[in-house]
Amino acid sequence: MPASSAHAPMRQMRASTRILAMTARRRAATAAATSASGGDAPKAAVASGHWTLATASLDHELVVKKSRFVASAWPVESADAAQRLIAARADPSASHNCWAFRVDGASRSSDDGEPGGTAGRPILGAIEADGLDGVAVLVVRFFGGAKLGAGPLARAYAQAARDAVRAAPKAFVREMARARVLAPQQDVGAVYGVLQKLGASAVGEPDFDQQQQGLALEVSVAADRLQAIAAALAEATAGRGKVEEVGGGGGDGAGG
């Protein structure tokens, strides 16, 4: 077989992979723009995943009896990332640096010297009230000379956190999974058609076994679409195409 003919299947698959990746990026950009501009969020909410902030929201100031409360909020992917952002933004000259974060359903908070339950918990409540995950909030207080009392103090921290959280556009992060798609060469076109239709994106280059004449391609796909892809591939390839899950793919901020 001429060398050019021998490499043709690989070139075809690589070209298809590039097209698949470009299509996924275009869909992600469109979905992110819809989410950030206050688009139709309920459609995304039926998918597996969570809502978070699309961007950071910094330096929202609230003044209560001459005390200044300056709040900032960020989207975060881990507890470590949240703590790094909070530490970097904390002001050592402030009276208190109070914070909270929620990541993967787990949360932490700190009153940083304020009366127990008057700062960290109200900040966390601002995150939870909007059903968000992957969010960190810091509220820095500069004491104005007058004590507020527990109730007004808790309300001030909650309002400052709420102002920062609600000022940011929101994004839906879908739970992602990694899968390996296997199919004979004759089904390459059908495989890429199914993956493109169901929003899967290729991870790296496809493998092509010249001896077995088969495709092996790793893809990233919304976890709640894995079964649909397996069923569609089986139908499109008369049962020859198969899907093997190979592990979690993290989150995809493209959303909805």
What residues are paired with 116 via a beta bridge?
Answer: none
| Secondary structure of residue 33 in the 3-state scheme | helix
CA angle centred on 190, ends 188 and 193, rounded to 5°: 110
Among 112-126, 216-230, 233-247, top mean pLDDT goes to 112-126
CB-hemisphere CA count at 13 Å for 38?
3
What residues are paired with 132 via a beta bridge?
Answer: 51
Task: State how far the alpha carbon of 81 is from the alpha carbons of 45, 51, 52, 76, 183, in Å.
Answer: 25, 18, 15, 6, 40
- Give domain limits for the chain: 3-34+172-252, 55-168
Token readout for 158 is 């909650």
pLDDT in tens, 109-140: 999 999 999 999 999 999 999 999 999 999 99
Token readout for 185 is 């060469």
Task: Please report the pLDDT score of residue 52 as a whole number.
Answer: 95
Task: Round to whole Å and give the CA distance between 61 and 46.
Answer: 35
Rounded average pLDDT over 151-173: 96
Rounded average pLDDT over 199-206: 81
Q: Which CATH architecture has domain 3-34+172-252?
A: 2-Layer Sandwich (3.30)
Secondary structure letter of residue 225 according to DSSP: G
8 Å CB contact between 50 and 174: no
Strand order in the sheet with 57-64: 57-64, 67-75, 135-142, 96-103, 106-110
8 Å CB contact between 60 and 74: no
**Is the pTM of the predicted complex or chain greater than 0.75?**
no
- Does domain 55-168 bear CATH number 3.20.80.10? no
Task: Please report the pLDDT score of residue 165 as a whole number.
Answer: 97
Task: Round to whole Å and give the CA distance between 52 and 136.
Answer: 10
What is the pairing mode between strands 170-184 and 96-103? unpaired
CB-hemisphere CA count at 13 Å for 186?
5
Check pLDDT > 60 for residue 103.
Answer: yes
